[in-house]
Structure 1
Amino acid sequence: MTTSVAARAIGLTKAYGEGEARVLALDSVTVDLQAHQFTAIMGPSGSGKSTLMHCLAALDTPTSGRVFLGDSNLGRLNDKKLTQLRRDRVGFVFQSFNLVPTLTAQENILLPLAIAGRDPEPGWFDEVIDTVGLRSRLQHRPSELSGGQQQRVACARALVSRPEVIFADEPTGNLDSTSGSEILRFLRHSVDALGQTIVMVTHDPVAAGHTDRIVFLADGRVVDEMHEPTAERVLDRMRDLSTDPRALGSA
């Protein structure tokens, strides 16, 4: 397994508003996210975790600091290049699935490639479909699929273009525990067997327990991290974080 950096933030600051109304969502955040690993970003509500992910994924622009995807400095890319980067090098999985209701599962999965004017790699497409277990449901529309199946379609859509990084924003948030577990096992398998890099924002200790590493945020800053987490350890750390973030140390 390589230890190369898939995404990196250096001195990242994001502020909203002006004067007394100014809110500092990110406060000089510096963090490296390793390739071919499953990383969770966690923290209390308002800690800046979604803002960090949006800046790393080129969905939002920082007030200051630098963001890299691989060797690409996002701050030096114009709008056209950023659009191409989001289309060709980044995958997204959202809590709300974001499927097109009039398209079949297969058409939803292939939509990013269709927009880019690219054909799927047949072997890779088959591997992704078999990994998510959707072969028998490819001609069904989202309304004919369960929530867990819809999210598996969204995961397959994120994977099929072989992006450098998949960013997942609370991917199990709208699912029951059984469906959520299926998605987490799939994401874990995507890293272990397919070599994918996944960065997931979550508040759920059970979900975070499937990852390789957790980055903890509080008040817009990185305050801790944990390697090889378990749900129990994460829950304990989150309790500490909610009481006194300054008391945390690196794990």
Structure 2
Amino acid sequence: MNHTAPREESVSPKITATARAERASKIYRSGEAAVKALDDVTIDIPAGRLTAIMGPSGAGKSTLMHCLAGLDTLTSGKVFIGDVELGSLSDSQLTLLRRERIGFIFQAFNLLPTLSALENIVLPAALSGRKPDQGWLDTVVETVRLGDRLSHRPSELSGGQQQRVAVARALASKPQIIFADEPTGNLDSRSSGEVLGFLRRAVTELEQTIVMVTHDPVAAGHADTIVFLADGRIVDTMDDPTAQKVLDRLKAFGE
């Protein structure tokens, strides 16, 4: 008993924030001009929650997500996934971390058209030479309700079903964190609602951590917390949002 208690105490603080940025700044230069996409942003992404990032066009939403996910580098500051500082990694180490610890969901689905739904879902594991955990895979397929569509190719699926395949693919490798970039941007309202419901279930039932960039107040209303950006800075946060509360807040920002 004396050996286990200290170990639990030492591990738990590291997993409180699944990802975090410390004084993150990103400057894009074009000739003489410089655009500060992120301006001294510090943020913690809590484990087991759905965090939405909102703000007007050009606010820095996608830049923040890309830097948190290791898809882009900071001009200054630090980004961590768990206790790993991404700036300390080589390109090959960063690629490995993204493959093993991060899931991605994109607006354009990014499914391979020649593969079945199931083959698309297990593709990341196949590329890394690992067999998926069958029990977990079954749970994921049940969560996104794709059991009767696994043999279908993307062209045989609706947009909403294709995005559900993309959600399952992101979940299948048990990532520490999933980044979703406008995941409902190409969907009608019904399909959008279904996908958002599955993301919500992934957080509530599978204890997944999800960061979602969205401009849609309805989508943001499914989050636990919303972080509002403007001009590369965090200007507000909202816990337990609803679509109406988000709309009211955006109007106050002049969105």
Residue 107 of structure 1 aligns with which residue?
119
Residue 249 of structure 1 aligns with which residue?
none
Q: TM-score, normalised by structure 2?
A: 0.93
Which residue of 198, 213, 217 maps to 1:205? 217
Residue 157 of structure 2 aligns with which residue?
145
**Counterpart mapping for 1:82-231 below 5 A:** 82-231=94-243
Q: Structure 1: which amino acid aligns with 2:16?
A: S
Residue 247 of structure 1 aligns with which residue?
none
Residue 91 of structure 2 aligns with which residue?
79
CA–CA distance in structure 2, aligned partners of residues 175 and 93 of structure 1: 14
The structural deviation recorded for 1:18 is 5.0
Q: Structure 2: which amino acid aligns with 1:220?
A: G
Alignment identity in percent?
65
The structural deviation recorded for 1:19 is 6.0
Residue 51 of structure 1 aligns with which residue?
63
CA–CA distance in structure 1, aligned partners of residues 61 and 30 of structure 2: 21
Equivalent position SS for 2:254: helix
Q: Structure 1: which amino acid aligns with 2:126?
A: A
Which whole-Å deviations, capped at 9, do the CAs of 1:34-74 have from their partners, x for residues lacking one?
00000000000000000000000000011111000000000
Equivalent position SS for 2:148: helix
Residue 7 of structure 1 aligns with which residue?
19
CA–CA distance in structure 2, aligned partners of residues 152 and 37 of structure 1: 19
CA–CA distance in structure 2, aligned partners of residues 227 and 19 of structure 1: 41
The structural deviation recorded for 1:20 is 3.6
Deviant stretches of 4+, over 6 Å:
none
Which residue of 17, 34, 38 maps to 1:26? 38
Deviates more, 1:122-131 or 1:234-243: 234-243
The structural deviation recorded for 1:135 is 1.0
Q: TM-score, normalised by structure 1?
A: 0.95
CA–CA distance in structure 1, aligned partners of residues 216 and 101 of structure 2: 27
CA–CA distance in structure 2, aligned partners of residues 56 and 232 of structure 1: 28
CA–CA distance in structure 1, aligned partners of residues 75 and 187 of structure 2: 34
CA–CA distance in structure 1, aligned partners of residues 41 and 254 of structure 2: 19
